Amino acid sequence: MRIDIITIFPEIFSPLEASIIKRAQDKGILKICIWNLRDFSRNKHKKVDDAAYGGGKGMVLACEPIFLAVEEIKKHNPESLTILTCPQGEIFNQQKAKELSKTKGLIIICGHYEGVDERVRTIVDCEISIGDYVLTGGELPAMVIVDCIARLLPGVLPEEATIYDSFFDCLVDWPCYTRPEEFRGLKVPDILLSGDHEKIAKWRLNQAIERTKQKRPDLYEKFIKEKGGPHASKSRSS
């Protein structure tokens, strides 16, 4: 999969050269291309923003360099889906990540300042927000999107590893423990030491359901609706 990112701060994206994302690129499963929006400016000072018509505080990213950048990227991957990161967008979640991981490629436009010229939306396929809060720009959301999608690409993680992730089936994760068996009076539950894998699987599923009910009632309601009952899901325990 190829992901192209358009930004005015390309130096921010160094985290994409580490950990799982780096391994995915080294394996040839994922290709990430960072494009400096200023390279597409026809202004002699490489300016890519301007004041908003009608007045107001803040600057707006101009449409021309963004159009030119997207057009250039489309030459390399014409089937790419174009995304704009912005507060108005659809809230990003695991289901959206699954959908995007199955596309031919992505172009992510990092919003900035007071936003982008409205005409940019005519070349955008979808708008994505990672939450109802304000950031200084779309670079961090772009990295969140890339990281989440990359884990879902075949060959990036061990087979079936992602089915145990939080949110895979509307549930948060179950409690996890490792050595030592007891630390400062806090003990690992006996069931996890029993060696009975069937009982352990049932315990984990029940714990995931109960945690979701307590910590994320919104997800719990969705789980009940989609799975048909608190014990209907088998994907995590089998």
Query: Is residue 173 located within the same domain as residue 143?
Result: no
Query: Is residue 40 located within the same domain as residue 145?
Result: yes
Query: Is residue 134 located within the same domain as residue 206?
Result: no
DSSP symbol at 57: S
Mean pLDDT of 200-218: 95
Catalytic residue, from 39, 64, 114, 210: name it: 114
Query: Is residue 64 located within the same domain as residue 27?
Result: yes
Query: Is residue 174 located within the same domain as residue 96?
Result: no
Q: What is the pLDDT of residues 97-136, one digit of tens each?
A: 999 999 999 999 999 888 999 999 999 999 999 999 989 9
Query: The domain that contains 181 carries what CATH number?
Result: 1.10.1270.20
Q: What is the pLDDT of residues 49-71, one digit of tens each?
A: 999 999 988 899 999 999 999 99
Query: Is residue 24 located within the same domain as residue 138?
Result: yes
Query: Is residue 144 located within the same domain as residue 166?
Result: no
C-beta of residue 70 within 8 angstroms of C-beta of residue 6: yes
DSSP symbol at 104: S
Range of the domain at 202: 161-227
Catalytic residue, from 39, 72, 87, 147: name it: 87
> Average model confidence (pLDDT) for the chain?
92
Helix-strand-coil split of the chain, %, nearest 5: 40, 20, 40
Q: Is residue 156 part of a domain?
A: no
236 is catalytic: no
216 is catalytic: no
114 is catalytic: yes
Query: The domain that contains 89 carries what CATH number?
Result: 3.40.1280.10
Query: Is residue 113 located within the same domain as residue 171?
Result: no
pTM for the model: 0.86
Query: What CA–CA distances, in Å, run from 101 to 1, 153, 166, 203, 235?
Result: 8, 6, 17, 31, 20
Q: What is the pLDDT of residues 27-49, one digit of tens each?
A: 999 999 999 999 999 999 999 99
Query: Is residue 94 located within the same domain as residue 198?
Result: no
Please give the full DSSP string across 186-231, using - where no structure is assigned: EE--HHHHS--HHHHHHHHHHHHHHHHHHH-HHHHHHHHHHHSSTT
Catalytic residue, from 72, 127, 165, 173: name it: 165
Look at the chain and report how many structural domains it folds into: 2
